[in-house]
Amino acid sequence: NVFDECLKYGIEPLVTITHFDVPMHLVETIGSWRSRKMVDCYERLCEVIFNRYKDKVKYWLTFNEINILLHLPFIGAGLAFEEGEDEEAVKYQAAHNKLIASAKATKIAREINPNFKIGCMLAGASTYANTCAPEDVWKAMTRDRDNFFFIDVQSRGEYPNYAKKMFQRMNINLKVEQGDEELLKNNTVDFVSFSYYASRLASADPEVNNQTSGNVFPTLRNPYLKASEWG
């Protein structure tokens, strides 16, 4: 009914398939997105809603702010950790599983309705370097890459070299199944979308710590910009 009402007034619906919603049953039984089984559950969800609304909705986003799982893992991906566990390895495995799910959703969507447009969605913001010092510039670039690699994979169809290097340095070995690389390559998104709350500022100097609370992402205060109550 909501879609019909939107269409009646010339409003084009843009639907996010999952917006930080993981059934607690799946968190408790399979560990949510740490498990490859979540991809199967997500596939079934996509098949149902794509078929049900194939004549009413054209634009779809596979995940809301997919990169938030790195910063708020429970909210972003239903991840709970055990004591002593390598949390970074778990988060990036969950990220891989979500990226595979996104590619599968894109494939399913085009089979059901070739006119569907599938997008990825990032919590995005540019990170400025605190000074022109190369260390600060590198810190800012690294901060951005932590988040941008998600949409690099979704829009280009492969892990960028900087992400592969990062995994190497962190001793993270993703469980990549046969066919994953082809799936990512052949099912890239049609568009990129993002939510933007604030820019960020990064310094490589640990003595520089005039933090603002921000929204999820704490950041240094930028003396050249006005700040809202959100920082």
| Burial category of 72 from C-beta neighbours within 10 Å (exposed 0-12, middle 13-18, buried 19 and up) | middle
Residue 193 is which amino acid? S
- 57's CB contacts (< 8 A; 6+ apart) are 3, 13, 15
| Burial category of 219 from C-beta neighbours within 10 Å (exposed 0-12, middle 13-18, buried 19 and up) | buried
| Burial category of 208 from C-beta neighbours within 10 Å (exposed 0-12, middle 13-18, buried 19 and up) | middle
Across the range 169-198, mean pLDDT stands at 96
Residue 215 has a pLDDT of: 60
Taking only the tens place, the pLDDT of each residue in 29-78 is: 999 999 999 999 999 999 999 999 999 999 999 999 999 999 999 999 99
Taking only the tens place, the pLDDT of each residue in 80-110 is: 999 999 999 999 999 999 999 999 999 999 9
Local confidence band at 132 (pLDDT 50, 70, 90 cut-offs): very high
Closest CA to 177 of 13, 22, 39: 39
Local confidence band at 200 (pLDDT 50, 70, 90 cut-offs): confident
pLDDT at 156 over 70: yes
Q: Are 201 and 222 in contact (CB under 8 A)?
A: yes
Closest CA to 157 of 191, 193, 122, 181: 181
151-155, 193-197, 211-215: least confidently modelled range: 211-215
Local confidence band at 11 (pLDDT 50, 70, 90 cut-offs): very high
Q: Which two tokens stand for residue 20?
A: 């930080």
Q: Using a pLDDT cut of 70, give the percent of the chain over it.
A: 96
183/174 Cα distance (integer angstroms): 16
Residue 216 has a pLDDT of: 63
More confident residue, 129 or 207: 129
More confident residue, 173 or 229: 173
Q: How far is CA 116 from the centre of its chain?
A: 20
Local confidence band at 211 (pLDDT 50, 70, 90 cut-offs): low
Q: Are 105 and 118 in contact (CB under 8 A)?
A: yes
Sheet strands (E) in the chain? 14-18, 59-63, 117-123, 127-129, 191-195, 200-202, 211-212, 219-220
- Percentages (nearest 5) of helix, strand, coil residues in the chain: 45, 15, 40
Residue 229 has a pLDDT of: 74
* Summary mean pLDDT of the chain: 93
pLDDT at 9 over 70: yes
217/231 Cα distance (integer angstroms): 10
Local confidence band at 213 (pLDDT 50, 70, 90 cut-offs): low
Q: Which two tokens stand for residue 133?
A: 């010092």
* 200 φ/ψ angles, rounded to the nearest 5 degrees: -130, 165
